[in-house]
A and B are shown apart, each in its own frame.
Chain A
C-alpha cells in the first residue's frame, strides 16, 4: 500500500541535485573571495580572539562542581566496581593476599598452565583444532615472553568490562528501539559524538572524577566500547522480519515474552557482532587507558616507548596483538556457532564447564607444590627484544640514508606545503563552503563548524585536518588499487583478506611502535601509522563494492561487446562507486581517531591539545578539543554519507 508516496520527494531531490551543481563552484569562489577579503578584515580568516566563547572554562566549571559535590557518589561507584575488578586481578594475575605484612598468606593466582589449557579448550570447542592451536600457542607465548602478569591484568580488565558494556548496550539499544523519538533526538546523536570522540578525551574526566586507577581505566573503556553494542542491538532488532514479530503476537506472547524470547534471540547474529566489536574496542581502549592507571600491557608499551626501548615495546606490542587476535577469532567463532555444543554422556549439560574448572583448579593446586606452574621460571622465559633491536640497528645502519631521504622529501614537498595551506584556510570561508556542500545538512554543518571556530581552536583543528587529509589521500591512493586488484583476482584476494583482517584486529596503539623506530617522532611517523591503521576499509569496501556488482550487469556488458577494460571502467566501477566512497568515509573516521593517538609522537594539533590537557588534568580544555574532533568527524561523515545516498538514490540503488 505504499504507492507513489515516494515520488514527490524524489522529484524534490533531483531539484536539489540540479542546484547542487551550481552551489559547489559558487561556494568555492566565495571561499576564495573571503580569503582575499581577509586581507581587508583579518577576522574572517583568523577567528578573532575576543569572539572566542570560553567553552572550556564552562566545562571545567561543571567538572569542578561535580567533583566538589559528588565525591561520595564517585567514591561509591569506584568501590562497587573495584570489587569485581580486584577479584579478577587477583585471580588472574596477582594472587590473593590474606592478612598484612610479614605473616600474610598468599593464595596463588590461577596457574598459567591451566589458563592456557582452558583457552586451547575453548578454541577447540568453538572452532576446532586450528583455533585451539591459535589460542593455546598465543597464551603459551605470553607466558614464555615473561609478560604473563601484565597480559592477565589487561585480560582481567576486559573480562570485567565487556559484560558491563554488553548489558548496558543491550538495554540502551532496546530502549532506543522501543522509543524512536528518544533515539532520534538523544541516543543517536550521543552515540555519534561518543564514537567520533577521540580516545584520549575519555580519559580526562575519568581521571578527574576517579583518579588514576584501574577503575577510571575501566570506566573510560566502558564508555568508549558501549556505543557499538547499542547500535548492533538497534540494528539487529530492526532487522528482525516483521513476520517474526507478528508470529510472537499470534502465539500469544506477552510484551516481555515477545522481547526476550522472540525478538532478542532472533537478532542474535547482529548482537554477537556487537559483542565482538565491544571486545575489540575494549582491548584498544584498555591499552590506551594504561595512561591513567589501567596498568597491564599498555603500560609496558608506554614505558618502553618513553625509554625508546625498541625490543621491549615491540614485544609488549606483539603480546597485545596476540591477545587481540585470540579474542577476535574466539568471539567470532562463538558468534557463528548456532547450536549448543554436543553433550557428553555422564557429565550432563555443563560437561565442558566442569572440565575447564577442573583444569584450572587442578593446575593451580599443582602450583602449590611446583612453582613452575604458578610462574614460568625466569630461565625458561625467552625474549626476542635483542633481535628486534639488532634488526632495527641493521636497518638503520644500512638504509638510514634512504629512509631519511624519503622522510625529508615527504615533509618538504608534501606535508609542509599542505600544512601551510590548511593553516591558512579562512574559517568563515570553510564554514560557508561546507554548509553549501551539505545543502540539506546546512544547519547541522554550520553549527558544528561554527563550534570548531568559536572555541578558538581553529588552527589546531586545521592542523588535524591537514594530517588526516594527507593520511586519507595516501591510504586511498594505496588502498583502492589494492582493493581493485583483489576484486579482479581471487588469488590476490586470498592474500589480501587475511592481511587486512589481521591489520584490523591490531589495537591502534600498536601501529605506532614500528614506525616510530624507523622514522622517529614527527608528522611523517604519524602519517605512516595512520595510513597503516586506516587503509583497511578502503581496501575492503573497494573489493566488496566491485565484487557485489550483479552478474547480470557484467554479462550484459560482455554481451554488448565490452573489452575487459571497458567493462571495468564503464560497468563495474560506476556501480561500485558508492561502496568505495563509503570505504573512504570509514577511512576518514579511522584516520581521525589515529591522528589523535599520534599526539604521543609529537604532532602539533588537536591531539596534542588533548594530550597536554591530560597531562595537566585540565578537563575543560581536553573535552572541548575532543568535541572539536568529534564534530570534524561527524561533519565529514554526514557529508560523505549524504553524497553517497544522493548518488544511490539517483541510480535507484537503495
Chain B
C-alpha cells in the first residue's frame, strides 16, 4: 500500500524520531532445541521455518530487528504463543538469545558478563510480571524495598525510598499488608512500585494487566500513563489486547509465530496493515479512536479558512460529536497553524458507521 501520510511533522514513527535509541536488537533469534546455535551459525543466522521443523527445533523468536527510543512506550503485541514473552525475556537476557545482537545505550548487552549483567539489572532495568511475582513471605514495604535490600542499601534509606514509590502507586497505608491480603490490582501496584524502586531506565512490563478484571485494567492503564508523564521511562510493554496497545502505545510491534510482522503507530497499523494478519487484528478496532483528522481529511476548499479549526493529529473521536452537530466542515491545520485540508461530517459519520473510508 502506498504511504499517503508523509508530512514532516510526523513524530510517532521510528524512522524520523529525534530521540536517541535506548534499546536496540538486530536479527535476534531464540531457537529451542539441541544444537540450535550451531544450526543457526551454519546457515549464517538465517533459517526457514521448514528447515527448523526438519531439524526438530522450535523458534520462539525469529530474526527480530527493532529499536526502542528513549522515553517511548513501545508495545509488543501478539497472541499467546507468538513469542512476545520470549522476546522481552531475550531483551532483558532472562533468556539467552540464540543469535543476533542486542544493545543497551549503544553498549553490547550480550557481551556483558554475569557480574556486569547483575549490575545493569540492579540499576538500569525494571520488570513487571503478569502474575505479579510478589514474594509471599514479605509485606508490601519489604517487597518494594527488596531490590534495594539485595544491593545492600541501608534499612532506613531503602524504606524511605520504598515508601515514596508505595505512595506513587497510591498504596499508602498498606505497607504492612502481605501480598495475599491484597486484591489483584493492588498486588500489581506493588509489583509496579517494586520494579520502579531501583529507578530503572528501561522498564519491561510483561502483560502486566492481563490477569486483572477489565475495569481494573482500564484504571491501571490510566495510571500507567500518569506515571509515565511523570517518570519518562523507556517502556517495553507486552500485551495480547489490541485496545490496550492503542491506548498506551507510541509504537506497536505485532508478532506472529516469532516474527515481527509490522512496527508502527496504531494509526499506521490501521491504515496500512502490512499483512492480512495485521488487517484482521485491526479490523474491529474503533477507528475513531485511532485515526487522526489527517487521515480523514480531503483537500481544503477555499472556504476552509473560515471553518472551525482542529489539529491534524487530533483523534476523530475527540471532535466527532461536535462536527456532527456543526453546520459546516472543520478545517484541519498542521502544527504551524496552516490549513492543510478540511473534514466533513459525512466522512466522520461514514467512519463511525463502519463504512469504508472514501478516498481522500
Contacts and interface: CB of A to CB of B under 8 A. Distances in A.
Interface residues of A, number: 24
A350 B132 CA distance: 33
A253 B89 contact: no
B284 interface: no
B92 A252 contact: no
B178 A338 contact: yes
A251 B58 CA distance: 29
Taking each of B123, B125, B129, which has the highest tally of chain A beta carbons within 10 Å of its own beta carbon?
B129
B147 A251 contact: yes
Interface stretch (B15-23, B133-141, B166-174): B133-141
A649 interface: no
13 contacts: A1-B60, A2-B58, A243-B129, A243-B131, A243-B132, A247-B129, A250-B125, A251-B121, A251-B146, A253-B150, A268-B136, A338-B136, A339-B139
Contacts of A261: 146, 149-150
A247 B136 contact: no
Given A1-B32, A250-B204, 14 more contacts: A1-B58, A1-B60, A244-B133, A246-B89, A246-B94, A247-B129, A249-B94, A250-B127, A251-B147, A251-B150, A261-B146, A262-B135, A266-B136, A338-B137
Contacts of A268: 136-137
Contacts of A380: none
A251 B142 CA distance: 14
B147 A338 contact: no
Given A1-B32, A1-B83, A246-B94, A241 B133 contact: yes
Contacts of A71: none
Interface residues of B, number: 39
A507 B20 CA distance: 70
Nearest to A258: B150
Contacts of B138: 265
Contacts of A269: 136
B127 A246 contact: yes
B118 interface: yes
A110 B287 CA distance: 80
A398 interface: no
A31 to B, nearest CB: 42
In the A-B complex, the 9 residue pairs with the smallest Cβ-Cβ separation, listed nearest first, are A252-B122, A243-B133, A252-B121, A251-B147, A247-B133, A250-B127, A265-B137, A243-B129, A252-B118
B181 to A, nearest CB: 9
A268 B139 CA distance: 15
B264 interface: no
A244 B134 CA distance: 7
B337 interface: no
A249 B127 CA distance: 10
Interface in A261-307: 261-262, 265-266, 268-269
A3 interface: yes
Interface string B175-194: 00010100000000000000
A566 interface: no
A563 interface: no
A249 B133 contact: no
Nearest to A338: B178
A246 B133 contact: yes
Interface string B189-232: 00000010010000010000000000000000000000000000
A265 to B, nearest CB: 4
A254 interface: yes
A249 B121 contact: yes
A257 interface: yes
Contacts of B129: 243, 246-247
B119 A247 contact: no
Nearest to B148: A251
B81 interface: yes
A616 to B, nearest CB: 51
A244 B137 CA distance: 12
Contacts of A243: 129-133
A268 B132 CA distance: 18
Contact of A251 (B122, B180, B204): B122
Taking each of A250, A253, A261, A338, which has the highest tally of chain B beta carbons within 10 Å of its own beta carbon?
A250
Interface of A is mostly: helix
B151 interface: yes
Interface string A1-35: 11101000000000000000000000000000000
Nearest to B118: A252
A254 B118 CA distance: 7
A268 B204 CA distance: 28
Given A246-B133, A247-B133, A252-B147, A1 B81 contact: yes
Contacts of A253: 118, 150
A243 B81 CA distance: 17
B76 to A, nearest CB: 15
A337 to B, nearest CB: 11
Contact of A266 (B121, B137, B198): B137
A2 B33 CA distance: 11
A244 B135 contact: yes
Nearest to A257: B150
Contact of A252 (B81, B89, B151): B151
B98 interface: no
Contact of A250 (B32, B94, B131, B180): B94
A253 B58 CA distance: 30
Nearest to A339: B178
A251 B129 CA distance: 12
B206 to A, nearest CB: 8
B294 to A, nearest CB: 40
A254 B60 CA distance: 27
Contact of B121 (A2, A244, A250, A262): A250
B341 interface: no
B265 interface: no
Nearest to B146: A251
A3 B118 contact: no
A252 B126 CA distance: 10
Given A252-B119, A339-B178, A266 B32 contact: no
A250 B135 contact: no
Contacts of A5: 58
Contact of B81 (A3, A244, A246, A250): A3
B86 interface: yes
Contact of B86 (A1, A3, A241, A338): A1
A251 B123 CA distance: 9
A339 B178 CA distance: 8
B131 A241 contact: yes
Interface string A381-403: 00000000000000000000000
Contacts of B258: 1
Nearest to B139: A339
A72 B209 CA distance: 64
B136 A250 contact: no
A325 B150 CA distance: 40
Nearest to A265: B137
A488 B341 CA distance: 75
A269 B89 CA distance: 28
A247 B205 CA distance: 12
A250 B125 CA distance: 7
A550 to B, nearest CB: 21
A38 B122 CA distance: 74
A539 B219 CA distance: 48
B90 to A, nearest CB: 12
A243 B123 CA distance: 20
Nearest to A242: B133
B36 to A, nearest CB: 13
A266 B135 contact: yes
A250 B118 contact: no
B29 to A, nearest CB: 13
A268 B136 CA distance: 9
A236 to B, nearest CB: 12
Contacts of B92: 250
B132 to A, nearest CB: 8
Interface string B65-100: 000000000000000010100100100101000000
A572 B321 CA distance: 58
Taking each of B81, B131, B139, B150, which has the highest tally of chain A beta carbons within 10 Å of its own beta carbon?
B150
